[in-house]
Structure 1
């Protein structure tokens, strides 16, 4: 078939473009658009031949959109207006303006695109902006399906629950369409090799049931009859993590780690160890889980993502139970025995499904790398949705 002409809105560091490549659908990105100058540097570094427009989307006219002559839109609008830990300003948040402009432009295009894929945070599905999106694409004649999906359902040991919508311009319903439902799993597609992801339905359902809590796992203090264990987490949380680590359909973290890491760059500083010891989500290379990495990772500790215990032979529970009544210096010495470090940007990129050749320009700082990755998406999840949408 003729290669699709793809418009990539809110292109960021190119997660959608990488997913398009991974899907093997014949396509060309005719333009990528983003206003973030640092993200654009990374995008240009990885896709030097793609037309990149460094401008606001609401500043692009109907005529300019028409000139691009695209038949597929990939987009990941700003999530801050909808995130559960934000103000949830929805349409009143000015960061929604660019997406409202897209919805205003869409019905007036000379030629409607055949395909749309949108990604956002959990919470978007109950927003007024989502309602306007659905109303707009229905009026244009699109058939659509909404999802809440996490990479764990593809065997990837990272919880990153996200909202997705795929839409196709056609009169017939999509074969897997479930009107009024947000699906928590991928539909089957005929061309897919049955063993490709090595996930069975029962295990996927198990992941699905616990997923909504894992992306914002902050190890909260327990209440009521729950029992506090050696850290500030409940018996229920311990059991959930144990289930995740025993799910053999999910890969171990060690498959995504770099071989050689300068511990001096990534080790948790003593002050952080002491202050956040009871709140850290600690994983080992043999674990089959990690929490959602956010843009604050590396700068903040609580709730921004898991940290890696590199001293695998040290028993974490024994260390924590020995801290009682010790002076601060000795507590730090004990906790240091775990050799806790941050995941490197490359390791987070690996967990997000970016290919081995993906990289950052040298002038991009480590803090900027973490911030950009925290705002990105999982490439494998999007690639599979693109295949489902186009096949």
Structure 2
């Protein structure tokens, strides 16, 4: 196949671009577009030769788009209008304005892109925005496939269930079949797990509990139900998923003191933590609030594995503040480093941050990004 010309919208830190490289598809990103200045600094740092437009999508005219004809459109529109923890404004949310603008422009392009890939959160598949997308694609002559996929399906020990839509012009020999997509993402045997890969045709609202409700971030160690405990045990016993330790930085390269949870956080939020060990095969979704907020933002790592967690938490509520802290400190709990989060999200070792980007900013942009390996597999299926 000749090299594809690719337009990357909502380019962020370059997750789609890295997925394209990972896929092995011969392609060139002719332009990337985003308004997040921090993300743009990181994107330019990693892809200095790619044209990056730091402007709103609505500010780009139809003529501008026609001047850079593209074969593939990659996009991950703002997810806030579709998450349960937000206001669920859907198309009434101002943040969907740019996406609706794209849907308006698509039929009027001088040349339609042959391939489209879109990523978003659970909740998008039951939205009015999704309905408008599907209507536009059908009117333009696309066949499409929708699926919910988590990185656990490609052996990565991190839950990040997301909605994906892949579309191709009908002249491109039809759509990717649901069975082929599901075969490419064999689901690990997680007993009772809410994370089930599913091809959506049509989308079913029941498949779409919010990430924050079901990823384990709200489950407390001593308050978790038997089902929660069994689910975690099942995930940790699933040999199709790699261990957390495969994604950790070498100990000599990590200043552990910098990432240890402070005493105040331990005392106040100990029971809210999702704690994993290096040998675990699971971790909960990392969000943009990781490192600042505790509940539902991502797992923390137990560095001292010789200490039994159950012994530390047993009778914890009956101890004084000082005794409680001494017990919790035995676990040596720390945050995953930004590099480790990037590893769990499939970013290659060649990915790096500019020196001026703070740790807080790194967590924030990673939490807004996507899993590179999952998108890479979908791109391979789309173009094959």
TM-score, normalised to structure 2's length?
A: 0.92
1:173 shift after superposition = 3.3
Q: Who is 2:378 aligned against? A: 385
For residues 54-93 of structure 1, give each alpha carbon's deviation from its aligned partner in whole angstroms, at most 9, with x where no partner exists: 0000110000000011110000000000012111100000
Which stretches in structure 1 are left out of the alignment for 5+ residues?
179-184, 190-198, 222-228
Q: Tell me if 1:186 matches 2:191.
A: no
Q: Who is 1:234 aligned against? A: 225
Distance 1:207 1:324, change over 3 A: closer
1:206 shift after superposition = 5.1
CA contact (8 A) 2:144 2:176 kept: no
1:186 shift after superposition = 3.0
Q: Who is 2:205 aligned against? A: none
| Structure 1 CA distance for aligned equivalents of residues 34 and 68 of structure 2 | 16
| Structure 2 CA distance for aligned equivalents of residues 146 and 68 of structure 1 | 28
1:215 shift after superposition = 3.9
For residues 320-353 of structure 1, give each alpha carbon's deviation from its aligned partner in whole angstroms, at most 9, with x where no partner exists: 0042421101101110000000000000000000
Distance 1:329 1:235, change over 3 A: same
What's the secondary structure of 1:96's corresponding residue? helix
For residues 149-172 of structure 1, give each alpha carbon's deviation from its aligned partner in whole angstroms, at most 9, with x where no partner exists: 000011100000000000000245
Q: Tell me if 1:46 matches 2:49.
A: no
| Structure 1 CA distance for aligned equivalents of residues 136 and 376 of structure 2 | 25
- Mapping 1:38-187, distance limit 5 Å: 38-171=38-171, 172-177=173-178, 186-187=181-182
| Structure 2 CA distance for aligned equivalents of residues 66 and 256 of structure 1 | 42
| Structure 1 CA distance for aligned equivalents of residues 275 and 50 of structure 2 | 40
| Structure 1 CA distance for aligned equivalents of residues 312 and 193 of structure 2 | 33
For residues 257-284 of structure 1, give each alpha carbon's deviation from its aligned partner in whole angstroms, at most 9, with x where no partner exists: 0012111210000111011111100000
1:121 shift after superposition = 0.2
Distance 1:104 1:147, change over 3 A: same
Q: Who is 1:195 aligned against? A: none
What's the secondary structure of 1:278's corresponding residue? helix
CA contact (8 A) 1:214 1:291 kept: no
Q: Who is 1:17 aligned against? A: 17
What's the secondary structure of 1:203's corresponding residue? coil
Q: Who is 1:37 aligned against? A: 37
| Structure 2 CA distance for aligned equivalents of residues 23 and 324 of structure 1 | 50
Residue among 282, 292, 295 paired with 1:302? 295
1:136 shift after superposition = 0.1
| Structure 2 CA distance for aligned equivalents of residues 327 and 33 of structure 1 | 53
Which stretches in structure 2 are left out of the alignment for 5+ residues?
197-207
What's the secondary structure of 2:164's corresponding residue? strand
CA contact (8 A) 1:151 1:159 kept: yes
Distance 1:348 1:156, change over 3 A: same
| Structure 2 CA distance for aligned equivalents of residues 71 and 188 of structure 1 | 26
| Count of residues in Structure 1 that have an aligned counterpart in Structure 2 | 368
Distance 1:311 1:213, change over 3 A: farther
Residue among 332, 349, 359 paired with 2:352? 359
1:232 shift after superposition = 2.1
- Mapping 1:208-227, distance limit 5 Å: 209-211=194-196, 215-216=211-212, 217-218=215-216, 220=218
Distance 1:71 1:292, change over 3 A: same
- Mapping 1:211-360, distance limit 5 Å: 211=196, 215-216=211-212, 217-218=215-216, 220=218, 231-260=222-251, 261-360=254-353
| Structure 1 CA distance for aligned equivalents of residues 89 and 27 of structure 2 | 36
CA contact (8 A) 2:76 2:120 kept: yes
Distance 1:234 1:219, change over 3 A: farther
For residues 346-369 of structure 1, give each alpha carbon's deviation from its aligned partner in whole angstroms, at most 9, with x where no partner exists: 000000000001000000000000
What's the secondary structure of 1:35's corresponding residue? coil
Distance 1:259 1:9, change over 3 A: same
